Amino acid sequence: MGFDPGLRKTGWGIIDVQGSRLSHVANGIIKTDNSLSLAERLVQLYDGLSQVISDWEPVSAAVEETFVNKNPNSTLKLGQARGISLLVPAMAGLPVSEYSPNHIKKSVVGSGHAGKEQVTAMLGILLPSVKINGEDAGDALAVAICHAHSGGAHGRLSEAIGNSGLKGSGAQIIMKGAKA
């Protein structure tokens, strides 16, 4: 599962990994009501992310690292939303990884300075017939793909299988309720 955190909109994306094959499971955006206080908006974000994790039961999560805006107030708000994006999966017992925007782009496109159009085009190639529910959801799918390519999903899954006593050569990430 990948997260693209933001206070107004936080994107989420879930993929399935079977060997080197990736497939789309789900994606979406959690929006907060900007007429509410900061604390109330963070609660909305917390509740929305908690519901997504409860519905899909992913096995690991990844969050895009914060970049610094020119406006320090915007950076602070983004950091608070990012904190919720780290907290919710961690509280659900999921291992959480973090990746820089350049690392994500390099993992998906092959260039750390790729444009959004290039990332979107590669999402269509890597996840055929995907319907992306907004730019933030697409960014979250890119985070999930980066996590899979970086071994975050595979390594934690192999560890979980090893600890469970299950044997077999190829691991699969299977999520309850997943509709591929």
CATH number for the domain harbouring residue 17? 3.30.420.10
Most confidently modeled of 28-37, 65-74, 159-168? 28-37
Whether 135 sits among the annotated catalytic residues: the reply is no
In this predicted structure, the answer to whether residue 164 has a pLDDT above a threshold of 90 is no
174 in any annotated domain: no
In this predicted structure, the answer to whether residue 62 has a pLDDT above a threshold of 90 is yes
Beta-bridge partner residues of 62: 2, 97
In this structure, is the dihedral angle defined by the CA atoms of residues 19, 148, 49 and 161, taken in order, positive or negative?
Answer: positive
In this predicted structure, the answer to whether residue 131 has a pLDDT above a threshold of 70 is yes
4, 16, 98, 139: the active-site residue? 4
Burial of 112-121, coded b for 16+ CB within 10 Å and e otherwise, reads eebeeeebbe
Q: In the 8-state DSSP scheme, what is residue 59?
A: S
pLDDT value, residue 111? 82
Residue bearing the bigger pLDDT, 91 or 113: 91
* Chain position carrying tokens 């933030």: 136
A 10 A CB-CB count for 33 gives: 10
In this predicted structure, the answer to whether residue 135 has a pLDDT above a threshold of 50 is yes
Whether 117 sits among the annotated catalytic residues: the reply is no
Query: What is the total count of domains within the chain?
Result: 1
Q: Calculate the average pLDDT of the chain.
A: 86
Residues 6+ apart with CB under 8 A from 33: 40, 41, 44
173 in any annotated domain: no
CA distances from 1 to 22, 68, 72, 80, 165 (A): 12, 24, 29, 20, 25
16, 98, 136, 139: the active-site residue? 136
pLDDT value, residue 116? 86
Whether 33 sits among the annotated catalytic residues: the reply is no
Residues 6+ apart with CB under 8 A from 37: none
Instruction: Residue 25: give the domain boundaries.
Output: 2-164
40, 47, 55, 64: the active-site residue? 64
Average pLDDT over residues 139-157: 81
170 in any annotated domain: no
Average pLDDT over residues 135-164: 74
172 in any annotated domain: no
Average pLDDT over residues 126-155: 89
Residue bearing the bigger pLDDT, 75 or 177: 75
